[in-house]
Amino acid sequence: MTRQTIFITGAASGIGRATALQFHARGWFVGAADVDLAGLESLKADLQDDCFTAFLDVTDKPAFDQVMIDFGAIAGQRLDILFNNAGIAVFGFLDEVPFEKTLATVNVNLIGVLNGIHASIHLLKQTPNALCFTTSSSAACFGTPGMATYGATKVAVKGLTEAMSVELARFGARAADVSPGIIDTPLWQTGSRFVRGESRPVPNIPSLNHKREDAGRTLPADAVAECVWDAYIGEKLHWYVPPEVVERDKEKALNPEKLRDELIAQQKK
């Protein structure tokens, strides 16, 4: 295939869907995977059937291997960008969230990314200048109370990305990640929250934040999709949307105890 190709997990909604639409508009061939079949069908219609779609639970490694074999066959064994984007959010204090939800967060957000990289590496190796790109989060800048496991998985994918950026260089391929702040996507409706083990609605932070103008302001999914392009043509390892989110990383590096103590004080209010 002469067209460049991108394979996106969690492509049926939010950031993944916006990225699929943007890269298709740039003339790329899009592979879209998700557990949401209706969402994939709607994306496929928007792309006039000019795409590859697959039902894929990223936690299922044999299924991921097969999907990448099928995608490779259709895409001429070419993968310019692997976008490990599927993720779930579970809110609540660690001791109040059912433990199976905690494990599911690790399985989707971290094991799913490992599965994706391992299942796709043969395609990345043989595609010049390929990029392995992963969605981290501002929740990785300082472990977010009420999202401890989520934040931990997002820290882990940053570490994984750093190592892969070196390992993949053996083949001329690259790795990078993005840490989005507050992005207006369906995640804020489909995520789950637990208080003392009981399910509760997730506060719609993107609409509650609509007056903010700082790093915590609400941005559309398109802003992250644009960052995927910037990362492909750029060289940075860690990307932030909005860019000011990086300041929290810097703050933590300088004085993690200050951030910890501020968060403890806020929690007491």
Ligand X SMILES: NC(=O)c1ccc[n+]([C@@H]2O[C@H](COP(=O)([O-])OP(=O)(O)OC[C@H]3O[C@@H](n4cnc5c(N)ncnc54)[C@H](O)[C@@H]3O)[C@@H](O)[C@H]2O)c1
Catalytic residues: 150
Tell me which of 16, 92, 116, 143 binds ligand X, using CB under 6 A.
16
Residue 117 carries which DSSP code?
H
Exposure letters 1-23 (e unless 16+ CB within 10 A, then b): eeebbbbbbbbbbbbbbbbbbbb
Q: Does 10 bind ligand X (CB under 6 A)?
A: yes
* Interacting positions 212-241 with ligand X (CB under 6 A): 221
Instruction: List binders of ligand X among 143-172 (CB under 6 A).
Output: none
Write the CB contacts of 86 (distance below 8 Å, at least 6 apart in sequence): 9, 10, 16, 33, 34, 58, 108, 112
Stretch touching ligand X by CB under 6 A, among 14-22, 90-98, 195-203, 259-267: 14-22
Which neighbouring-strand residues pair with 178? 135, 239
Residue 183 found at the interface with ligand X (CB under 6 A): yes
Check if the beta carbon of residue 190 is closer than 8 Å to that of residue 206.
no
How many Cβ atoms sit within 10 Å of the Cβ of residue 140? 24
* Beta-carbon count within 10 A of 74 CB: 13
- Give the residues across from 33 on adjacent strands: 9, 54
Q: Which stretch binds ligand X (CB under 6 A): 61-69, 167-175, 177-185, 249-257?
A: 177-185
Residue closer to ligand X, measured from CB, 188 or 232? 188
Min dist. Cβ of residue 2 to ligand X (A): 29
Contact 136, 157 (CB under 8 A): yes
C-beta of residue 23 within 8 angstroms of C-beta of residue 51: no
Tell the smallest beta-carbon distance from residue 221 to ligand X (Å).
6
- Selected range binding ligand X among 5-13, 122-130, 160-168, 258-266, rule: CB under 6 A: 5-13
Whether residue 161 contacts residue 176, with contact meaning beta carbons closer than 8 Å, is answered with yes
When binding is defined by CB under 6 A, the residue of 5, 13, 22, 165 that contacts ligand X is 13
Contact 176, 231 (CB under 8 A): yes
CB of 171 to ligand X, least distance (A): 26
Q: How far is the CB of 35 from ligand X (least distance, A)?
A: 5
Q: How far is the CB of 32 from ligand X (least distance, A)?
A: 10
Q: What are phi and psi of 180, to 5 degrees?
A: -75, 150
Is 36 an interacting residue with respect to ligand X (CB under 6 A)? yes
Is 190 a binder of ligand X (CB under 6 A)? yes
Whichever of 60 and 251 has its CB closer to ligand X, that residue is 60
Say whether 163 sits in a helix, a strand or coil.
helix
Q: Which of residues 50-79 bind ligand X (CB under 6 A)?
A: 56-59
Closest separation between CB of residue 67 and ligand X, Å? 10
Instruction: Tell me the window of 124-132, 176-184, 231-239, 255-263 that interacts with ligand X (CB under 6 A).
Output: 176-184
Residues that bind ligand X (CB under 6 A): 9-10, 12-16, 34-36, 39, 56-59, 85-89, 108, 112, 135, 137, 180, 182-183, 185-187, 190, 221
